[in-house]
Every structure is written in structure tokens, then in C-alpha cells.
Amino acid sequence: MNRAAFQALWSHWRRHPVQLATLVLGLALATALWSGVQAINAEARNSYDRAAALMGQDSLDRLEAPGGVTPAQYVALRRAGWDVSPVVEGRLATGLGIVGVDPLTAPPQPALSALAGDTDALSGFLGTGFLLVAPETAAQVAQDGLPPFRISPDVPAGTALGDIGLALRLLGTDRLSHLLIAAEQPMGLPPLSDVTDLRRVTPEDTSSLAQLTDSFHLNLTAFGLLSFAVGLFIVQSAIGLAFEQRRGAFRTLRALGISLNRLMGLLALELGAIALIAGLAGIALGYGIAAALLPGVAGTLRGLYGAQVSGTLGFDPLWAASALGIALLGAAVAGAQALWRVAQMPLLAPAQPRAWAMASGRAIRVQAMAALGLLAVAAVLAIWGGSLLAGFACLGALLIGSALALPVVLLWLLRGGARLARGAMGEWLVADARQQVPALSLALMALLLALAANVGVGTMVGSFRGTFVGWLDQRLASELYVTARTEAEAAAVRDWLAPRSDAVLPIWSVAITLRGAPAQVYGVADHPTYRDNWPLLSADPAAWDRLATGDGVLVNEQMARRDGLDLGDTLTLAEGWAPPVVGIYSDYGNPQAQLIAGTGPLAARYPDQPRLRYAVRADPSRVPALIDDLRQRFDLPRDALRDQAEVKALSLRIFDQTFLVTGALNVLTLGVAGFAMLTSLLTLSSLRLPQVAPVWALGVTPGTIALAELARTALLALLTWALAVPVGLALAWVLLAVVNVQAFGWRLPMMVFPGGWLWLGLWALLAALLASAWPVWRLMSMPGGQLLRVFANDR
């Protein structure tokens, strides 16, 4: 009996393959976007954990000092009995991260497991030396002309791990970054403060990188959730349609003696089977999406936070299982309403599907109140919320509130519009639009969210880019940048350039540890290039003079915000040198703390730092010739010489790469919203016969009706778009003024791009028309008899 009944139910799908495809595709899309984002997040977190766990940085206390730890300080601690282990961290000019460890004293760590049981590897690691790198970093290391390397998947991407001796040599320093303090120490040691001046620092509970990037991943998760919700709209409407169309079959089956419970069971089974298939498709699709997006995400994370994330995706069975679970859960959520309706259906209910329902005044009022309440919450959070979480809660309240408000506002607008409508057809068009709002509201909400996200994120990225370009123009004041290979060459280049240019300004930096985090101190010459161009957010009037004398230092906005620094606060940059902050400058896109000191005072404290880079001021028209001459004279490699335009182009390319993922997700979300619209309209189209047939019977041609149908969808899409723009702008404001400040440490001025909104409006229109074209075509290409049959009671 089950078999026969199931076949009867299943035959529906055989006759409506498009409906089945819609259902499967909708669920697969929802699952794919959600689980794809999860996979990306998991991969990134994995990378952070690997980075944090490297050298026990996630758990062990450390000793550090401004300017680094000397080997003598390290040995003094060891000779006092303290079990500490040295670490040096740094970055080569090529961007490759270098971590040096002492395997003899280091705490146990998986990153060195590549050495296990291999005599040659071990003695090689300690002796002549080689680097351990993650597989994806191998190409970078090979290109850099570094020592030989071996693959260790436990080393974080973008980093090379080597013996401390080798690392110090590569980094050209004799200072250790910090000492790790083993958790277990010998008994009876003298207090640490008697043995060393180094400062003991306890690491944050969790990896600082993970904290820093949390907001980004929350962002991704929000996008994933949004897509999932939008996908469920599709599923819901497809299931709803299928159930409505089978009311007759349900009634017949029950009349034939299938109990309600059995019928529900069969329907749940059917839904489960479909969800399983869709889930599997979703896993494949999600993996594809994640794999395609991951390099972009990795680029974003590197650009924004300096976080190294592996660009290749592993396949985790647990992830696949959870994706399947999400698909089943989604199908259950989307199908619950339909199943409930079947359960409530009286045995002798009319089999005629209800095409539409007037939105009851009460329901609309409740929804309006809820929307207003949420928007009020969003406003309160935006103004008084002081944390990242509050920022995201604000975003959530804003988006959900706006979505809930959409049908209410649309109905209100259409009621007003009805008065403006001219002619019988116009009146009908608006009136019918109003009546479609409840049925289409989920799809329209999805469209609103997608459009608002587009406007919001677009405004944010656009504002960021605009600010960034302006800032680059100011900051890249020099016409040419030269990097020499050795100090001697640097001196020769400088001497050669001096008479041939307006100024040769050294660019050099010292890596120090400041307030428990790595910081880079740049030495800049006292020159109008900086005085006139460097964008300062707030500054002492004599900032540049004080910089030159060593009585001041500039800090970047990130550091100032993170450490709560203000003008006048002092920072210990070296033993016996603690200048006050005399200015704060904007430093977009840099995850690290950065400081600027006068080159003279800095050189006095760090005399051994090599100075290999120079900024050259010269007439821009002479720069190409200078580059040629320099290259020939000093045989400099290609990348040793960069002109301003090249640096700008490079910076912008990195910037654009940074927001590639956002763009991709935007398009995907809009696509899914369009698809939701299509399925909703498809659902409606077959139920719309009774509404269209009388109009046709009264003498309106099918062509006119089709145009009216298209116009109605366009009207709804355009109204939704018009409402999405202010929502998107509010979203952008929250992103820029609340989330950005909390997450990145800098605030950006908001710039609006109305041209972009118009384009988006066109896209929304196009999506809506595309989504409605097929249903309308289906409706209109029906044989006339189909319309006539609506009325027929006899032939």
C-alpha cells in the first residue's frame, strides 16, 4: 500500500520535472552557499590555529623587550636555570614570513614533525640549514633564492620555519623577537625579576589573529546565512506549490483509506529523499564555491589582517555531514508549513487551490509593529552600542526589520498608487500587484536583502577605495623607490642619485615589540616630502620638528585606537628612549602597529639596521630615464626599482583583490534572490489562471495581459529596489561608522555612488523581468482552451 501510495504521490514530480528541479536546485543552492562559507571559515580558522600553535605562541608566556632580546639576555636566563626558548620572527622584503626556533629548547610542536626520524634532516636543520614550509608556500620560497626547503603541512602558509641561527641570518638581525617560557620550570629558581629586565607577557586567551579576523568571518557567515535563508524561500515556495497542486491527490488517497499519519509519513519521506539528493548536490556545489572563493578570501585576509591562510581547501567528512544535515533541516523548515496544512486539511476540503489571500489588516499591523521595533533596536545599537557584536546585532536588526517592513510599505505604496492609476488596465495592474504582495513577499524580501547588501557593501567598498586612492596619492609622494641588495650598493646608489635628483630619502625600519605586539618603526628624514604630504589625523603643531629631534613619534590610527593612545602618551621604543606621541596618521589596510620616528634619532638607537631602500624625489618626466640608468649602472633586478605609478597600481590591485570575495558573494546573493523570485512567480503563475481568465474573457488580448504581468513584476522589483537603496545606505553607514571602527581600527568617510544604484536598479529590473519572463510565457502560450476551462462546467 505504501508503495502504491508513494508512487501516486511521486507521479506528481514526474509530471512537473521543472518543479522538482526548482526544489532540488533551491535546496542545493542554499546548502552550497551556507556550507561553502562554513568550509572557508573552517579552513581559515585552521590556518590561524596552526599559526598560533606554532612555537606555543597560543599558550606560553613570553619574555620580550622593546627592540628585541639579545642572545646574552637569553643565555643569562638559561644559565640562571630558567627554561626559556628563543624565537625570532620577521618578514623578508618579498613578504615571506620567517620564524626561527631552537629545536633543542623549543616546546613540542607539530610543525617540526617533518624532521622526525630523519638523521640527515635533523642535522641538516641544525647545521647548514633548511626551511620548513607549507606546500602552498613552496613556490614562493623557491623563487626567493633562499636556502633549500622541505614541506611540512603543519607550518602556517606564507611562513618559513627554520633553525634560529639560519633565521637570524636571513633576517639580518642578531636580536631575538621573544623568549617562550616553558610551562614547567625546574625547582628552586630565582625570581625572574632578579635574573632579567625582560618583560613577561601572557598571551591572550585565544589567538589574536582569530580574534582580529572574527569580524570578517562573521561577515562571511552572515552572507552565508543570508543566502541560505534566500535559498529556503525557493524551497518553501516549490514545496508549497507541489502540495497545493496535490490537494486533490491527497484527498483521493485519504478517501481510499490512507490514514493522515501515513500520508504525512509518506510526504516526509518524499521530502527527505529530495533533501538528501539536494544535500549531496549542495555539498559538491558548496565545495566548488569554497574552493573557488578561498584564494580570494586568503587574499582578503592577507590584505586586511596580514593573516596567512592556506589557499587550498581540504575536504572534511564532518563538514560534508553537517552540510547534509543543514539540507535536511532546511527542507524540514521549508516543508513544515506545507505538511502542517496537509494535516489540517479536512477530508472533504475543496480541491481547488487558493491562488492568493488578502493580507489581513491585523497581520499587517503586527508585522509593521515588529518591523518598527527592530528598526528602533537597530538605531539604538548604532548610536549607543560600543562593540563589534553590537555592530553586527545592529546590522541584523536593520536587515530583518527592513525585510519585515517591506510588504507593509509596498502595500501602503500600492494603495496610494491605485489612486494614481489611469484606465481600467492600470487600475487592475496596481490592484493585482497589491494582491500579489503577500504571496511574493518572501521573494521580495530576499530581493530587498540582496539589493540592500549590494548597495551597502558597494558603498562601503567604494568609500574605502575612494579614501584609499586619495590617501595613496598623498602618501606616495616620491616619484621613485629603489631597493639595494647590500649596504655598499645602497651607499653607491645614494651617491649616484644625489646630484641627479631633488632628494634621496632613506626608508628603513626596525621591527620591535611594543605592548605585546609586533610593531614596525620607520625612520623618515626631515624633508618637505613628508611634512607636506603625509596625511595626519591629529598632530602636535610642531610634530615634524619634534620627530627630527627625537622628541616625538607618530603612530598609525590602528595602533592609536587599539592601545587607546593619544597625543602626549609616551612609548618606549628602545632602552632609554620613550618619546611622546606627537601625531596620528591614517594607514589603511595595514593590520600591524606602525610608528614613524626621525631617521636620526632612530639610527642612533638602532645603528646596525641595514638601510637599503630609498625614496627618490625627481621630476616625473625624468624618472624613466633614471630607472634605465640605475638599472644599467648597478645591474639592479627588475623589482628593485619601482616608480610611483607602479606602486600605486600594485596597491590598488592588492586592494581590489581584497574585496573580490565580497563582490562574488554579492553577485551570488543577488542571483539566488533572482532565482527565488523566479520560483515564486512560477508558483503563482499556475495559480493565476482564475485571475487572468476573466480579464481575457472581457476582451483583453493575451499579449496585453503578458505585458501587464511583466509590468507588475517590474513595478514590484523597482519599488523593492527603491526601498533597498535607503536600507543599503543605512547598512553602509553601520559598516563604516560602527563595524569598521571596531573591526579594523579605522573609520572611513562615507561616499555615495548614485550611478551604482541606478545600475543595480537596472540589474534588479532585469532579474525580475528574467524571473517573470518564463512564467508569463508559460501562462500566455497556453492553448486558449486552458483559460476557457477555468469557467467550463460543460462542453
Q: Which residues from 64-123 bind another protein, rule CB under 8 A?
A: 71-72, 74-75, 78-81, 102-106, 108-109, 112-113, 115-119, 122-123
Which spans in 476-622 are helix H? 487-497, 528-533, 543-549, 557-563, 599-605
Nearest distance from C-beta of residue 440 to another protein, angstroms: 13
Instruction: Give the amino acid at 36.
Output: G
CB of residue 555 to another protein, shortest distance in Å: 33
Angle of the 689-697 helix axis to the 660-687 helix axis, nearest 10: 60
Can you read off the three cell numbers belonging to residue 273?
529523499
Which residue in 145, 186, 541, 607 binds another protein (CB under 8 A)? 186
- Rounded CA-CA distance 566/568 in Å is 6
Q: Can you tell me which of 11, 128, 252, 786 binds another protein, judged by CB under 8 A? A: 128
Q: DSSP letter at 501? A: S
The CA distances from residue 88 to 85, 160, 165, in Å, are 10, 12, 9
Q: Which of 434, 465, 527, 546 binds another protein (CB under 8 A)?
A: 434
Which among 192, 186, 50, 28 is positioned nearest to 109, based on CA atoms?
A: 50
User: Should residue 170 be labelled a site residue for another protein when binding is judged by CB under 8 A?
Assistant: no
Minimum gap (Å) between residue 695 Cβ and another protein: 6
* Beta carbon of residue 716, minimum distance to another protein (angstroms, whole number): 14
Give 461: exposed, middle or buried? Use CB within 10 Å, 0-12, 13-18, 19+.
Answer: buried
- Pick between residue 393 and residue 687 the one whose CB is nearest to another protein: 687
- 784 counts as binding another protein under rule CB under 8 A: yes
Longest Cα separation, the chain:
107
Closest distance of CB 711 from another protein, Å = 15
On the 0-12 / 13-18 / 19+ scale of CB atoms within 10 A, 633 is exposed
201-260 residues near another protein, rule: CB under 8 A: none
Using CB under 8 A as the binding rule, whether residue 147 contacts another protein is answered as no
> Do residues 492 and 634 touch, judged by C-beta distance below 8 A?
yes
Residue 190 or 749: which CB sits closer to another protein? 190
106 vs 444 by CB, closer to another protein: 106
Residue 423 binding another protein, by CB under 8 A: yes
Q: How long is the chain?
A: 795
Of the residues 12, 92, 129, 538, which one makes contact with another protein according to CB under 8 A: 129
Using the rule CB under 8 A, which residue among 425, 472, 710, 737 binds another protein? 425
Q: Does 351 bind another protein (CB under 8 A)?
A: no
Q: How far is the CB of 68 from another protein (least distance, A)?
A: 14
416 counts as binding another protein under rule CB under 8 A: no
Query: Minimal distance in Å, beta carbon 354 to another protein?
Result: 9
User: Cα(190)–Cα(180) distance, rounded to whole angstroms?
Assistant: 17
- State which residue, 222 or 425, has the beta carbon closest to another protein: 425
Toward another protein, which CB reaches closer, 89 or 163? 163
Encode 61-100: b = buried (16+ Cβ within 10 Å), e = exposed: bbbbbbbbbeeebbeebbeeebbbbbbbbbbbeeebbbbb
Q: Is 792 in the site for another protein (CB under 8 A)?
A: yes
One of 435, 441, 685, 720 touching another protein (CB under 8 A): 435
- Is the CB of 1 or the CB of 358 nearer to another protein? 358
Q: Pick from 91, 169, 494, 562: which binds another protein (CB under 8 A)?
A: 169
Candidates 255, 256, 542, 788; binder of another protein (CB under 8 A) is 788
Looking at residue 506, the DSSP 8-state letter turns out to be E
The amino acid at 451: L
Compute and round to an integer the Cα radius of gyration of the chain: 33
276 binds another protein (CB under 8 A): no
Please, what is the minimum distance in Å from the beta carbon of residue 445 to another protein? Answer: 21
Residue range at the interface with another protein (CB under 8 A); choices 216-224, 225-233, 456-464, 690-698: 690-698
Query: Which listed residue (148, 694, 726, 749) binds another protein by CB under 8 A?
Result: 694
Write the CB contacts of 508 (distance below 8 Å, at least 6 apart in sequence): 522, 523, 599, 609, 610, 611, 612, 613
> Read out DSSP for 236-252?
HHHHHHHHHHTHHHHHH
Interface with another protein includes 163 (CB under 8 A)? yes
Comparing CB distances to another protein, the nearer of 21 and 697 is 697
Q: For another protein, give the closer residue by CB, 101 or 451.
A: 101
State how far Cα 605 lies from the chain centre.
41
> Who contacts 271 (Cβ-Cβ below 8 Å, separation ≥6)?
239, 331, 332, 335, 339
Report the nearest approach of another protein to the CB of residue 678 (Å).
22
Whichever of 124 and 580 has its CB closer to another protein, that residue is: 124
Least distance in angstroms from the C-beta of 696 to another protein: 8
Q: How far is the CB of 345 from another protein (least distance, A)?
A: 19
Residues that bind another protein (rule: CB under 8 A) add up to a total of 75
Question: Binding of another protein at residue 695 (CB under 8 A)?
Answer: yes
Each residue 648-687 as x (binds another protein by CB under 8 A) or -, in order, gives ----------------------------------------
Cα–Cα distance, 264 to 257 (Å, whole number):
13
Q: If residue 746 lies in a helix (H) or strand (E), which one and from where to where?
A: none
11 belongs to the binding site for another protein (CB under 8 A): no
Name residues contacting another protein, limited to 352-381 (CB under 8 A).
355-356, 358
State how far the alpha carbon of 687 is from the alpha carbons of 439, 504, 680, in Å: 11, 77, 11
Task: Kindly state the smallest distance separating residue 287's Cβ from another protein, in Å.
Answer: 33
- Cβ distance 280 to 24 under 8 Å? no
Contact 114, 150 (CB under 8 A): yes
Q: Which is nearer to another protein, 128 or 337 (CB)?
A: 128
In the complex with another protein, the residue whose CB is nearer, 637 or 694, is: 694
User: Are 409 and 723 in contact, with CB atoms under 8 Å apart?
Assistant: yes
Q: Are 225 and 217 in contact (CB under 8 A)?
A: no
Q: How many Å apart are CA 438 and CA 449, to the nearest integer?
A: 17
Task: Determine, following the binding rule CB under 8 A, whether residue 130 of this chain makes contact with another protein.
Answer: no
Per DSSP, 391 falls in state H
Closest to another protein by CB, 465 vs 712, is 712
For the stretch 541-548, contacts whose Cβ atoms lie closer than 8 Å and that sit 24 or more positions apart, written own/partner, are 542/582, 543/582, 543/583, 546/579, 546/582, 547/582, 547/596, 547/597, 547/598, 548/598, 548/600, 548/601
Q: Is residue 166 at the binding interface for another protein, with CB under 8 A as the rule?
A: yes
Partner residues linked to 556 by β-bridges: 585
Asked whether position 699 contacts another protein by CB under 8 A, the answer is yes
Question: Per-residue x/- mask for another protein, residues 189 to 208, rule CB under 8 A?
Answer: x-------------------
Among 6, 13, 412, 428, binds another protein (CB under 8 A): 428
Judge contact between 238 and 19, C-beta under 8 A: yes
479 binding another protein? (CB under 8 A): no
643 contributes a contact to another protein by CB under 8 A: no
Shortest distance in whole angstroms from residue 483 CB to another protein = 24
Query: Considering the complex, what minimum distance in angstroms separates the CB of residue 576 from another protein?
Result: 25
Judged by CB under 8 A, the residue of 264, 368, 431, 603 near another protein is: 431
* Beta-sheet strands, E only, within 352-402: none
C-beta closer to another protein: residue 106 or 324? 106
CB 579 within 8 A of CB 597: yes
The stretch near another protein (CB under 8 A) out of 165-173, 232-240, 552-560, 640-648 is 165-173
| DSSP character at residue 136 | G
Among 339, 372, 492, 693, binds another protein (CB under 8 A): 693
